[in-house]
Structure 1
Amino acid sequence: MFKKHARMYKKVFHTILSLFILASSAVGQTVKKTNTGLMGHRYLTFNTVIRVNQIEVSRTRNVGEDERALHTPAKVEAFRRAVAEGFPGGKMTWAFSWLALNDTTANYREIRKLVVSYLKKYGDEITFIPGAYFANAYNTTEQVNKDIHNALNLITKMVGNGYRPKSIVAGFLSSENQQYLAEKEHIHVCQGNIWSQFSIDNQDGDGSVSYPFYPSKEHFCKPAQNSADFIDCVNLDGWSVDFLAARRAGFADGFNSRLSVGPIETIGKYGPEIGLKQMMHATAIHFDQGFELNKFAWVTNCWELSLPYDAEYLRMWLSQIKKRWPDTKMITQGEFGLIWRKHYKNNHFNYVFIENGSGIGGSDADKEIRWFMNKDFRLALLRTVGDPESEKVIDFTNYTLPAKEPAEMTRKWSLLGEINQKQTRAQDKPIPLDSLSKDARALIFHHYPNLDNK
């Protein structure tokens, strides 16, 4: 009897021991599992736009040039190959215009098949761009909603298996349309603003935060202030720009205010050597000091397929990023937005950016700019390098004040605050921080007490 019980106890002991080892192993696996949260990571999102006309302002009306000849299967293949070689394992987002989704010519049929194959091979995202960037400048909000709904259905049919993108690309998109996207289409990420754009291209939209935020029901550039004002759609910038260049309006002072990680204002203007140097400078703003300040970093780029630049330059930029910041995660726009949404349930963010100019174009080598962005306001301080006393406010936009989007179709969708960085109004003349109103300074010092008396 004793031996029988001993064997039984021994069997139970070994069973418990095995369960303990298994549990310990599981715990070990959890510890070793890659952290997929927002903080502690550098993120890169890369989008491209496939269209038929340069600006498809509606389903039946175009502004600009016909781009059919610029969109070929061979160009799509070279483009995706450059991404795969420059950043192995990286994912990207493909945004089709209305006409590109519906064009029946052989090239566009083959392009759509290729992109679907990339979704399956690489995990890319396929989505829609309404109006080719400027939907609200040419269409009613009701029509934009219809375009989004119908296009998403076309994409589901094109990809199959009930596929739905996690985001859309829009350039600019009104708060009402972003609310529709979240509540009716159940898509919670939208590239819905182009940070600092003013007096360039076909629509203005200065006044927003440059990193992700939940938009207000009052204006897509304004962060939601409370639950009643909240739209559950992560509003993303279109491409990361040089903050010093972006403080200008359009082409003021002979510079392009959109100097950025994109190829038009860099490679197209200065050639590949200097152009890529500037692209890396704009990237480093976020991946170096920006990462230290904000505990995560994000760079985004939109390189339209129709642009006349060799895909080799894209490969070079991506490979330089991979080499310099090997921990960078290149994921789809929708994936990044949902990671941010999981971390931030509301607009309790506090972004800080500091840039010293590169000396290329409007990125003044002798200037330092500091940006502070939160739910309540955005603030920009500009100084001459090495001269703290020269620092002045060039932008203060108070988000606690009421805002309103245009009721009509227009290019003017900016949210201009007490002082705006573009200096297009008499009131926009830079002033010392202590010259702001008492209420403005109280709001600023509540968030950043160290700025008091500086």
Structure 2
Amino acid sequence: MYKKIFDIILPLLILSAIAWAQTPGKAGSNALMGHRFLTFNTVIRVNQIEVSRDRNVGEDERALHTPEKVKAFRNAVAEGFPGGKMTWAFSWLALNDTSKNYREIRALVIGYHHTYGDEITFIPGAYFANAYNTTEQVNKDIHDALNIISRMVGNGYRPTSIVAGFLSSENQQYLAETENIHVCQGNIWSQFSIDNQDGDGSVAYPFYPSKEHFCKPAQDRSDFIDCVNLDGWSVDFLAGRRAGFAHGFNSRMGVGPIETIGRYGPDTGLKEMMHTTAIHFDEGFKLNGFGWVTNCWELSLPYNPAYLKRWLSQVRERWPDTRLITQGEFGLIWRKYYRRNTFNYRFVERGSGIGGSDADKEIRWFMNKDFRLALLRNNDDASSEKVIDFTDYDLPAHEPAEMTRKWSLLGDINQKQTRAQDKPVPLDSLSKHAQSLILRHYPYLFNSSK
């Protein structure tokens, strides 16, 4: 009799344990697959672009950073996504400014770390460190800033990630091997001909970078860097295929407020932000087994935090299982699941009709260790599909030896179409080598193209 009761109860206990482990905040919350993740960062700086410790480019932003603004910003996150965590990235000057406002801001953020579990970290160069500094200087800035943050927060605190915009492979290797930090927001996917640095050519989701180039996934142990390289903010793939402001559009349009709320107003802007979020949380979730959306909303931006609250509330309402966690937490969850670059990411998007997100187009992206491939077609004509990007990661790559804005990794065909060779072509017009690589991963693509 007892054995029969045991046989009945045991499966129930196992199912209960599994359900408990998968509940947000429980042990299973450290799992990658089956979850939707949202990471939200902000940047606090003194000057618009702090190219070095003592040289600035751009506007002085002291007046745009106040304790009142910090409070309103954090309250919007707390109200829009109760229980959520975020990442605060301080520039060098923001860590060292002795004015009353910045002293109060630092104290507030330390309080948020203790109250909400927020992460406090560093952003070298205010996004474009390698465009203005040597790798040695960037390493020194990272080292000194991390020590300042540890002393500032106290109790042995140390961030699990840094925010960088772009960060060279040599600097990411230093971060992992010397500073023992294994997560870096180190690339801005598809950025080209916009802002102060180019960096197109990478994978849109997390990957381990190669020692050759921060946009290239490591191919084997010899060029492996144990630093999870993260995108800066999720963009609309159709908008992102353009170069800068080509054709009057903004290639950075996605979940960021500048290109959405700032350009189209809160209603249409939020519609586009939700469209981009859905790319990852609906079809992307089905294809990849997990979904990830990331956003960076600089504190200096002139947008009402109420719009941030609206977006977070809508995300939480539409996808209630979403977890808003720090960038470092997400990166380490990915690192625990993927010990090497064995990922295989796929994305499908039909345009929103807003800005450069063409309503009559469908784009498909395929990204793995060996290559990235983008196919573009008209919605009503499958035969119109052509390759607009093929980047072979098996080829040697090199980062610039000098300080420059040009850090992209452009493949055989690049989505921005800035070179003569970037003209879209049918899949079966690619080189035999390219076709063999694609056939190895996605043989069905050739069946559907015939």
TM-score with structure 2 setting the length: 0.95
Name the counterpart of 1:169. 163
After TM superposition, the structure 1 = structure 2 runs for residues 291-330 of structure 1, keeping only pairs within 5 Å, are 291-330=285-324
Which among 122, 135, 138 is matched to residue 129 of structure 2?
135
Name the counterpart of 2:395. 401
Note if 1:365 corresponds to 2:348: no
What is the letter of the counterpart of residue 237 of structure 2?
Answer: F
Name the counterpart of 1:13. none
Which among 347, 353, 363 is matched to residue 347 of structure 2?
353
Write out per-residue CA displacement over residues 104-157 of structure 1, whole angstroms, 9 at most, x where no aligned residue: 000000000000000000000000000000000000000000000000000000
Following superposition, the deviation at residue 32 of structure 1 comes to: 2.3
Which among 280, 288, 296 is matched to residue 282 of structure 2?
288
Name the counterpart of 1:432. 426
**Which aligned segments of 4 or more residues in structure 1 are displaced greater than 4 angstroms?**
24-31
What is the letter of the counterpart of residue 109 of structure 2?
Answer: V
After TM superposition, the structure 1 = structure 2 runs for residues 377-388 of structure 1, keeping only pairs within 5 Å, are 377-388=371-382
Name the counterpart of 1:411. 405
Name the counterpart of 1:45. 39
2: CA distance, partners of 1:303 / 1:28: 39
Unaligned runs of 5+ in 2: 1-8, 23-27
What is the letter of the counterpart of residue 234 of structure 2?
Answer: S
Following superposition, the deviation at residue 28 of structure 1 comes to: 5.1
What is the letter of the counterpart of residue 365 of structure 1?
Answer: A
Task: Supply the RMSD in Å over aligned alpha carbons.
Answer: 1.7
Which stretch shifts more, 262-271 or 29-38?
29-38
What is the letter of the counterpart of residue 212 of structure 1?
Answer: P
Following superposition, the deviation at residue 33 of structure 1 comes to: 2.1
Which among 82, 86, 91 is matched to residue 85 of structure 2?
91
After TM superposition, the structure 1 = structure 2 runs for residues 226-237 of structure 1, keeping only pairs within 5 Å, are 226-237=220-231
Which among 424, 437, 442 is matched to residue 443 of structure 1?
437
Write out per-residue CA displacement over residues 71-107 of structure 1, whole angstroms, 9 at most, x where no aligned residue: 0000000000000000000000000000000000000
Following superposition, the deviation at residue 451 of structure 1 comes to: 0.9
Shift in CA distance, 108/222, structure 1 to aligned 2, threshold 3 Å: same
1: CA distance, partners of 2:332 / 2:115: 22
TM-score with structure 1 setting the length: 0.94
2: CA distance, partners of 1:25 / 1:452: 47
1: CA distance, partners of 2:231 / 2:256: 13
After TM superposition, the structure 1 = structure 2 runs for residues 100-119 of structure 1, keeping only pairs within 5 Å, are 100-119=94-113
What is the letter of the counterpart of residue 373 of structure 2?
Answer: L
Note if 1:193 corresponds to 2:193: no
What is the letter of the counterpart of residue 400 of structure 2?
Answer: P
What is the letter of the counterpart of residue 327 of structure 1?
Answer: D
2: CA distance, partners of 1:30 / 1:369: 37
Following superposition, the deviation at residue 373 of structure 1 comes to: 0.1
Write out per-residue CA displacement over residues 294-321 of structure 1, whole angstroms, 9 at most, x where no aligned residue: 1100000000000000000000000000
Name the counterpart of 2:6. none
What secondary structure, in the 3-state scheme, does the structure 1 residue paired with 2:55 have?
A: coil
Name the counterpart of 1:182. 176
Note if 1:33 corresponds to 2:33: no
2: CA distance, partners of 1:186 / 1:225: 22
What is the letter of the counterpart of residue 224 of structure 1?
Answer: A
2: CA distance, partners of 1:188 / 1:301: 20
1: CA distance, partners of 2:66 / 2:280: 34
Write out per-residue CA displacement over residues 3-45 of structure 1, whole angstroms, 9 at most, x where no aligned residue: xxxxxxxxxxxxxxxxxx99x9799546522322000000000
Following superposition, the deviation at residue 254 of structure 1 comes to: 0.7
1: CA distance, partners of 2:143 / 2:205: 27
Note if 1:122 corresponds to 2:99: no
What secondary structure, in the 3-state scheme, does the structure 1 residue paired with 2:347 have?
A: strand
What is the letter of the counterpart of residue 314 of structure 1?
Answer: L
Write out per-residue CA displacement over residues 241-260 of structure 1, whole angstroms, 9 at most, x where no aligned residue: 00000000000011000001
What is the letter of the counterpart of residue 125 of structure 2?
Answer: G
What is the letter of the counterpart of residue 173 of structure 2?
Answer: Q
Note if 1:331 corresponds to 2:319: no
1: CA distance, partners of 2:20 / 2:326: 24
What is the letter of the counterpart of residue 235 of structure 1?
Answer: N
1: CA distance, partners of 2:281 / 2:381: 26
Paired residue total: 437
2: CA distance, partners of 1:404 / 1:26: 51
Name the counterpart of 2:198. 204
What is the letter of the counterpart of residue 333 of structure 1?
Answer: Q
Shift in CA distance, 327/30, structure 1 to aligned 2, threshold 3 Å: closer
Write out per-residue CA displacement over residues 375-425 of structure 1, whole angstroms, 9 at most, x where no aligned residue: 000000000002011000000000000000000000000000000000000
2: CA distance, partners of 1:214 / 1:438: 28
Name the counterpart of 1:242. 236
2: CA distance, partners of 1:440 / 1:291: 27
Shift in CA distance, 444/62, structure 1 to aligned 2, threshold 3 Å: same
2: CA distance, partners of 1:160 / 1:214: 30
Write out per-residue CA displacement over residues 253-285 of structure 1, whole angstroms, 9 at most, x where no aligned residue: 110000010100000000001000000001000
What is the letter of the counterpart of residue 42 of structure 1?
Answer: R
Which among 55, 59, 67 is matched to residue 65 of structure 1?
59
Which among 48, 52, 58 is matched to residue 54 of structure 1?
48
What is the letter of the counterpart of residue 141 of structure 1?
Answer: T
1: CA distance, partners of 2:189 / 2:16: 43
What is the letter of the counterpart of residue 452 of structure 1?
Answer: F
1: CA distance, partners of 2:235 / 2:110: 30
Note if 1:252 corresponds to 2:246: yes
Following superposition, the deviation at residue 452 of structure 1 comes to: 1.4
2: CA distance, partners of 1:334 / 1:260: 22
2: CA distance, partners of 1:164 / 1:260: 31
